[in-house]
Each structure stands twice: as structure tokens, then as C-alpha cells.
Amino acid sequence: MAYPYLANPPPPDPDTVRQLREQADAARAASAARKAAERPARVTALGLGPPLRDIEAAADCPCGCHPRPTGGLHTGGATCPCQRTDAERHAVVRAPADNSQMKGMFARMARQEQDDFDAAQAAAVALGTTCTRYEGLFPLVITGVALGRAFYLRCRHEGWTLELAGADRPLDDPYTHDDPQALVIAGGTEGDLCTADSRRIDPDTAMAVIVT
């Protein structure tokens, strides 16, 4: 499948850049308003779940363990970091480097990141592109090459942008190279990169967004 408009994309004009920024700002504002409207129901649901030390903190916590049945991630939310006291948080930060809980958490994060990278690479092959990097959380960074042009997708604060290498250095990674000709050609909200039934970014969906 050919995407001729990606072969040499024109630079966005100032009005387009302004519109993209306004759309991203509007999307963030709409997301904040939606969360505020859903908060009372969320507090009620949390009250029906596993016992929590601080339901208000759980209502504002972005972790996917709230609200969930007992078990699974963070024991249904009861052991989520948002439920710790200030003293408990300080103790975790000051704990020795061999803290088994922290080591286990980082090991799980590393495994998840590798699984996502593997899935993104497989999706890229199926789409006729390559994925060279899929890492991080805040921001999430995805890089690769599509149709002979290096790309860099960055997702943070519930918004994402897609940047392409300039025509003079089409294979230079925009993430690691300072290319004044690199172009931001698309953007949107984090939900664009998630499956319909999940709030978590999906590698297959993200790669499909990049090439379309």
C-alpha cells in the first residue's frame, strides 16, 4: 500500500500548527471535564470495592487498579501507592536499593516494556514498516521507519504528536537527531492509541495510527 503524501510531506503552515495546538488543548480540557463529571460515580464505586485508606486519593489516582475486584494489580487498589501515607512514601524512597518490592516493580515494568516493543515490532512488520524503539511512560516514545522516512511518535499528558525526518536526512531518527527540517505531521489524544475497551496504549493500535 502506498502513501504518496508521506514521501515528501509539506511543512505545516502556522494556521495548521495553531489549529493542532488548539485541538490538543481542547481535547485535554474535555478529558478533564469528563473526569470531573465521572468522579462522583467513581467515588461511589470505590466505596463498594476493597477497603481503602483514602478513597479521595484513589478517585484521583490514574492507576488502572481503581476500581477493581479484590486481587490483581495492587490487590484491587488496596496496596496502590496512592494509599500510602507521607511517612510510607518517604520510607519507600529512602529504602535500600535492594528493596524487593521496588525491584519487583521495576522488573515487571521492564517485562511489560519488552512485551510492548515485541508487539510493536510485529505490528510494524505486518504493516510494511519498522519499529526501532518503543519505550517509556511519560513520555512514551515510538520510533522507526515508514516508507523510507524515519518517524518519532511522542505521547505525554494525554496527547501525542508524530514527527517525520526532513527530506535531506530522511533516515535520521528525529528523536536522537536535531533536524531543523523535521516536520510534525499529525497529532491527537491518547485515546487514539488505545483499544476501544482499554485506557492503556496498545502497540498494534499505535503502529496503525502511525502509518495511516
Q: Is the pLDDT of residue 164 over 70?
A: yes
The pLDDT assigned to 200 comes to 80
Alpha helices in 55-202 (DSSP H): 55-60, 86-94, 100-126
Q: Is the pLDDT of residue 70 over 80?
A: no
The pLDDT assigned to 97 comes to 57
Average pLDDT of the segment spanning 26-53: 87
pLDDT per position as a tens digit, 107-148: 888 888 889 999 999 999 999 899 999 987 778 899 999 888
The H or E element spanning position 32 is helix 14-47
- Count other Cβ atoms within 10 Å, centred on residue 60: 13
The pLDDT assigned to 9 comes to 56
Q: Name the pLDDT band for 90 (thresholds 50, 70, 90).
A: confident
Contact 143, 175 (CB under 8 A): yes
- Give residues with Cβ within 8 angstroms of 211, minimum separation 6: 3, 127, 128, 129, 146
Q: CA–CA separation, 81 vs 87, rounded Å?
A: 12
- Going by the DSSP 8-state scheme, the letter that residue 177 receives in this structure is S
As a dihedral over the C-alpha atoms of residue 35, residue 36, residue 42, residue 44, rounded to 10 degrees, the angle is -170
Average pLDDT over the chain reads 82
Among candidate residues 147, 116, 179, the one with its CA nearest the CA of residue 163: 179
Range among 41-55, 70-84, 86-100, 171-185 with highest mean pLDDT value = 41-55
Average pLDDT of the segment spanning 28-55: 87
The H or E element spanning position 18 is helix 14-47
Contact 196, 189 (CB under 8 A): no
**Sheet of strand 159-164: strand arrangement:** 130-135, 140-146, 149-156, 159-164, 183-189
Grid coordinates representing 199 are 485506557
